[in-house]
Amino acid sequence: MTDGMSRPALLDTLTQLHSGLHAHHALSPAEKAMLQTVLHDIQQALDAEEPHPHDTVERLETAAVSFETKHPELSSLTRQVIAAIRGAGI
């Protein structure tokens, strides 16, 4: 990892996004599935301590944009995860 965001801070941000995902009952099944898949991919990358796949960040960016209108708090959390991933060098 680089000297950006620490691993514990990244894990905390991911936990916040997980909590937000479970708290938003207004999400469609497709939206929930997309976020769950991406979060699972990120967790696997963290566990393996490997660099994040570029497509995972792209999928998170797509999710953040799609949440902007109906779920702005999830959009914000998703963008925080993107920044954390990039900052942590994962």
- What pLDDT, in 10s, does the model give residues 47-78? 776 665 667 788 889 888 988 888 888 888 88
Q: Could you tell me how many residues make up the chain?
A: 90
Residue 75, amino acid = S
pTM of the model: 0.67
Alpha helices by DSSP H, the chain: 7-23, 29-48, 54-67, 72-88
pLDDT-above-70 percentage for the chain: 81
Buried b or exposed e, range 31-61, using 16+ CB within 10 angstroms:
beebbeebbebbeebbeeeeebeeebbebbe
